[in-house]
Amino acid sequence: MLDDTDLRRPENFINRELSTLNFQRRVLAQARDHRVPLLERVRFLCISCTNLDEFFEVRVAGLRQMYEAGSVQTGPDNLTPGELLTRISEQAHAIVADQYRVFNDELTPELDAKGIRFVRRTDWTAPQRAWLENYAMEEVFPVLSPLALDPAHPFPRIINKSLNFIVELKGKDAFGRHCKHAVVQAPRALPRLIRLPQNECESGPNDFVFLSSVMHEFMDALFPGMKVMGSHQFRATRNSNLYVDEEEVDDLLRALEGELAARRYGDAVRLEVTAECPDELATYLLNEFGLGEEDLYRVDGPVNINRVQAVFDLVEAYDLKYPPFVPGVPANLVTSVSKFSAIKHRDLLLNHPFESFVPVVEFLREAANDPEVVAIKQTLYRTGSGSVVVDALVEAARAGKEVTAVIELRARFDEADNIELANRLTEAGAHLVYGVVGFKTHTKMCLVLRREGGKLKPYCHLGTGNYHASTAKIYTDYSLFTADPEIGEDVNRLFLQLTGLGKFKGMHRLLQSPFMLHDAIIEKIEREISNAEAGRKARIVAKMNALIEAQVIEALYRASRAGVKVDLIVRGVCALRPGIPGLSENISVRSIVGRFLEHSRVYYFENAGEYELYCSSADWMDRNFFGRVEACFPVSRKKLRERIRETLELYLADNQQAWLLQPSGDYVRVTEDEPAKRCSAQDTLLARYATVM
């Protein structure tokens, strides 16, 4: 048995970045799974590619900065930035090679068998080539600007993740100069996948050609009088972190607007080139981007493979996609004259995407038009452009309601959309707050104050996901509607804290970050430990996206030693090692990767048979506990708690889309082939709540 003093041994923790790469492997495995419809497999391949892009743009970029600054700072696993970058390079190279093997050897032949073809240049027919040449001359080349590389034309600035070519040339240009190389950048306005017209070039209905193939084939037209000896695709991934010193700027919105343009030209962190690119050209490019050999990724195909996702929308082959469904709506929300009358009598719960997000939007629209509604307060983290939620808030502000929106401008990769939405709300007369300096506002909550019987009555919506109508169709999340006065007072206090920055002594029901949540979770784990030691019922079930906070992991290790059964459902990053004798043999960790992105956070504590159940916007990460404003809310109504508890058990029984984390840090897929014993949590919930078409 280990002493508690040994809980923080580095070998007890899995590195965050390496765990993230393991998640990308699980996503990529969906592209290989023949139980998944073919075009959905293409989508999963592309998701794994875009996820890896973001991993380099954010996580690897941050590590490189630490390494270049000479930092030897380590996390609980004791890996330095230099050691970690070496391991990431090894594993990321293997993942990229697997991505292209899946595309070339598995998906492309299967798509071809279904009449969906990516036609290679060597296979173009004469009519196809003629049509593509005309397309190149009329649609592509007029917008290209080839850039010669010579003393008067230095290497150009390359936009983050853009498609580019380095061209080898022979001969003299129009001014009689010898030019050996040029760079051609493909504008982002051009589609990366071109559908060949059936009638004009005798093609199949779903024949496609990559833009890169067209540019390769007709590149010589850009350099008349010279000979193109070769052209090679390349793509640079850049640091996409935004750097704004919030303590020093007067206007966060304007500061972020200025930084967004700079993001496209951050320091390079990865270079992709095609497999046939000559070594000397690859080395030249590495030098231009300030990268080393370990940052070079040679790929067997188009460098922008994630653009293949366009085929999903371009091909109307419904048998190759997941069947569509109509999300359900609770009967009392359908039959009630008003959302307020339905919520007034009992708390209501929605399980997205199996149940519709529409009632959330209707709740806001009704509030906007109800003459008895005095004020609406809402947090906005990610809503998407053209948000119907923001439309409702604009409508409410224009109707004379007091509308207060707390918009998190620093929601990574959604900054531009959030700035636009902030401007819309400001123009409509809403009160805008951009969160708290030093803390991201990540909590998802809405408060509507309605005058009833001469008093203001609070109606709240609290969620685990964003107010985003599109992602609500593909992310699993919970929405709770409540008129509980104590929760209403807590939510209002939290809004006052965000807007006025005043201090409040505590909360009635909510657990809040950065002031309460971490201590509360530790205390509840310790309570389970005490119950187990006293022979009372003790169990913890927690579902989240990520688990990396060291003190919580140590508490879970103590719980395991005390005999508490701990079941963790962690979609992505997990730093805890389960199943180690004397440390974590009572802990299991599983990841569910399926049709929908698992996004809900749920915490269950047995509490000696009087179980407590909370939902939250917070993962168990340092940033959520200490660097963000989060809300964790109890689910009190027995029927709703039972629904969520049963759903947790369903995920723990899943043997179709589940992966079990091993003590080594690897994941093993759970498989059950016997039809009578198969269990897919997502499929079961679809059948239970939605209408599958």
Beta bridge partners of 227: 170
Give start and end residues of each alpha helix (H) in 102-156.
Answer: 108-113, 126-135
In three-state secondary structure terms, 477 is strand
Closest C-alpha to 312, from 46, 56, 614: 46
Helix (H), strand (E) at residue 418:
helix 415-428
Closest C-alpha to 308, from 216, 150, 192: 192
Q: Which two tokens stand for residue 505?
A: 């002594």
Checking phi first, is residue 449 left (phi over 0); if not, alpha (psi -120 to 50) or beta?
A: beta
For the chain, what is the largest distance between any 2 Cα atoms, rounded to a whole number of angstroms?
91
Closest C-alpha to 276, from 225, 180, 212: 212
Give start and end residues of each alpha helix (H) in 451-549.
Answer: 485-500, 517-533
Active site residue 442: yes
Instruction: Check: CB of residue 26 under 8 Å from CB of residue 591.
Output: yes
CA distance 36 to 650: 20
CA distance 230 to 216: 9
Nearby residues of 279 by Cβ (< 8 Å), 6 or more positions away: none
Q: Which two tokens stand for residue 268?
A: 């390079």
Single out the catalytic residue among 216, 232, 352, 442. 442
Instruction: Check: CB of residue 584 under 8 Å from CB of residue 578.
Output: yes
Torsion of CA 238, 239, 241, 242, to 10 degrees: -70
Q: What is the DSSP secondary structure assignment for residue 105, as one 8-state letter?
A: I
Instruction: Check: CB of residue 162 under 8 Å from CB of residue 185.
Output: yes
CA distance 311 to 307: 8
Helix (H), strand (E) at residue 288:
helix 279-289
Instruction: Check: CB of residue 661 under 8 Å from CB of residue 590.
Output: yes
Residues counted in the chain = 693
Positive/negative CA dihedral, 337, 343, 349, 351:
positive
- Residues tagged active-site: 442
